[in-house]
Structure 1
């Protein structure tokens, strides 16, 4: 159980670190330039999606979807809370300074990007037939094919 929470914490920390790096780049490099800030934010969402796609691809090979799905979901929710509530404080902003619209837009965009990353990772894994369930079915078929058919006498 301890290793499971450690994995969740590391993934949440990595997702939050990506957001912190993007916020620092925007604050130091592009202060006042909205177009550049939007591009850095878009890049951040792409990186978040790629990280989650890679994690899902790796975890989906070894564990059932319910198991890794709970871990990834918990990590995303923890990272989301840190990103929305703590992230702005690190660069000197107020989390609610932009109003309710901006606050909830951040939440929806974050969930959209992370959901897309998880979906892409799982779809690629399933399309290649490397997911946990496909591997179980493959082993079952091999075992059934290896046994000779039993002859029944009447």
Structure 2
């Protein structure tokens, strides 16, 4: 159990850490400047998507695609919930202080950009033929392409 969920938990913590760092930068560098806050927030979301590219590449290389989608999807949703519900406390505000609409937008932006990054990572993996299915087909072709075993004498 630990071997399966520990990597997903570490991915979730890494994505949440990116969000916390961005919130701290906003809090100390762009206190009241709305333009800087929006710019830093956008760069943080792009960073989350960029982090998902190598993570999806690495994870997809080792596991079947259904497991990759499930584990990374769960990690992204957990990281997003942490970023949306706990992250605002790092900034010094309450999570729902600006309304529920902002919370939903943050959730969908976070999940959407994470999904886009994961898709890019998985597409690169499949393009190179390094994904789990391509590798199993390669092993199958190598095994079948060799001389067949000698049959039983009759």
Normalised TM-score (structure 2): 0.91
Superposed, 1:50-61 pairs within 5 Å as: 50-61=50-61
Cα drift, residue 38 of structure 1: 1.6
Mapped to 1, the partners of 2:102 and 2:77 lie a distance apart of 18
Cα drift, residue 6 of structure 1: 1.7
The DSSP-based 3-state class of the residue aligned with 1:51 is helix
Cα drift, residue 128 of structure 1: 1.0
Q: Which runs of 4+ in 1 moved over 6 A?
A: none
**Structure 1 vs Structure 2 CA RMSD:** 1.7
Give yes or no for the alignment of 1:21 onto 2:21. Answer: yes
- Which residue in the other structure is 2:138 paired with? 138
Mapped to 1, the partners of 2:50 and 2:133 lie a distance apart of 23
Select between 115-124 and 93-102 the one with higher mean Cα deviation.
93-102
- Which residue in the other structure is 1:74 paired with? 74
Mapped to 1, the partners of 2:39 and 2:79 lie a distance apart of 21
- Which residue in the other structure is 1:124 paired with? 124
Mapped to 2, the partners of 1:14 and 1:116 lie a distance apart of 17
Select between 2-11 and 115-124 the one with higher mean Cα deviation.
2-11
The DSSP-based 3-state class of the residue aligned with 1:74 is helix
- Which residue in the other structure is 1:41 paired with? 41
- Which residue in the other structure is 1:85 paired with? 85
The answer to whether the 8 A contact 2:61-2:131 is kept is yes
Mapped to 1, the partners of 2:57 and 2:66 lie a distance apart of 14
How many residues matched? 151
**1:64-105, Cα deviation, whole Å (9 max, x unpaired):** 011222211111111111111000012211111111221111
The DSSP-based 3-state class of the residue aligned with 1:130 is coil
Mapped to 2, the partners of 1:84 and 1:40 lie a distance apart of 16
Query: Which segments of 5 or more consecutive residues in structure 1 lack a partner in the other structure?
Result: none
The DSSP-based 3-state class of the residue aligned with 1:147 is coil
- Which residue in the other structure is 2:147 paired with? 147
The answer to whether the 8 A contact 2:26-2:91 is kept is no
- Which residue in the other structure is 1:32 paired with? 32
Select between 140-149 and 129-138 the one with higher mean Cα deviation.
140-149
